[in-house]
Amino acid sequence: MKAVYINAYGGPEELVYGELPDPVPGVREVLVKVVAASVNPVDWKVREGRLKFLSGKNFPMVMGTEVSGTVVAMGDKVEGFTPGDRVYAGLSHRGGGYAELVAVDYRKVVRIPDELPFIEASTLAIAGVTPMQAFTLHYPVKPGDEVLVNGGSGGVGTYAVQIAKVLGARVTAVCSTRNAMLVKRLGADEVIDYEREDFRKREAAFDVVLDAASNAFFPETKRCLKNGGMLIKLNLSAGSLLLSLWSRFFSPKKLKMILVKNRSEDVRWLIDQITSGKVQVVMDMTYPLEDARLAHEYSQTGRVRGKVVLEV
């Protein structure tokens, strides 16, 4: 099969497009013929070696943490799927998605309806379920809560603005001037242009801040949180971990770092929101699989509006 993989951690130049053996599904695995693979910041962070404690050191390592496609085969102990089923599959940080075929634990595979395009379906868990879990599992958002999404025009941010609105929140989105109309169209009640105003200087304004831009740090950001409020960060670091533990016991304002949990019920909830028209998938760019290096380079600019996807 054709695949994009690395033989060592490093920059985009480490990405190789070439042939690898076809995967063989285990007894509890589904073999998926990949149609689309989402490109997420976690992919290039894995490529750079920042998450090697999760991704390991087994090379060649195929990139990609989530895909959509069709079922072509199943292990002996898999029930509930048949060849030809249209599916979404969430993968671990060990990857496997940038390829023509991938074998996935059947518990991480969800059927998708015919009306949901493969390209959109490939973006569900990392960009979509992450803010959904942030606003339901980690800080349960209630109608009327003040939610701020820092980085409201990116892959996670565009989902986060819409999901917070579905949950009844009043949403403030932080982005550039050129993206203001986009986030307003997605439902943001207020837009802060980060070049004109620093949201951190607002006093006790928000119940929860989701840092999709990865540049909100707790010591500066806690000022804008209400007592009992929470800053949610999506990137792990030792310093933030220590502050998270400190805030848990000694501060009325909390810091929490999260990793998305691969729960099929959350993917189904998000599919329902999309097919009912309450949430839309914002697409920026699609690339053919062989141009994965270009996709990574673009993702790393921090200028992506919505999602970047590889077509396989």
Structure tokens at 59: 């090379």
Q: How far is residue 273's CA from residue 70's CA, in Å, rounded to a whole number?
A: 22
Homologous superfamily of 2-123+281-311 = Medium-chain alcohol dehydrogenases, catalytic domain (3.90.180.10)
Predicted confidence at residue 1, as pLDDT, reads: 98
Matching residue, tokens 């990574």: 296
Q: pTM value?
A: 0.94
Domain 126-257 in the same topology as domain 2-123+281-311: no
Q: How far is residue 239's CA from residue 235's CA, in Å, rounded to a whole number?
A: 11
- What residues does each domain of the chain span? 2-123+281-311, 126-257
Exposure letters 163-190 (e unless 16+ CB within 10 A, then b): bbbbbebbbbbbbeeebbebbbebbbee
Coil, strand, or helix at residue 156? helix
Q: Are 228 and 256 in contact (CB under 8 A)?
A: no
Q: How far is residue 109's CA from residue 99's CA, in Å, rounded to a whole number?
A: 17
Predicted confidence at residue 185, as pLDDT, reads: 98
Structure tokens at 138: 């980690």
Homologous superfamily of 126-257 = NAD(P)-binding Rossmann-like Domain (3.40.50.720)
Q: Are strands 283-288 and 307-311 parallel, antiparallel or unpaired?
A: parallel
Predicted confidence at residue 250, as pLDDT, reads: 87
Q: Could you list the pLDDT tens digit for every one of the 312 residues in the chain?
A: 999 999 999 999 999 999 999 999 999 999 999 999 999 999 999 999 988 888 888 999 999 999 999 999 999 999 999 999 999 999 987 799 999 999 999 999 999 999 999 999 999 989 999 999 999 999 999 999 999 999 999 999 999 999 999 999 999 999 999 999 999 999 999 999 999 999 999 999 999 999 999 999 999 999 999 999 999 999 877 677 788 888 888 899 999 999 888 889 999 999 999 999 999 999 999 999 999 999 999 999 989 999 999 999
Cβ neighbours of residue 276 closer than 8 Å, sequence gap 6 or more: none
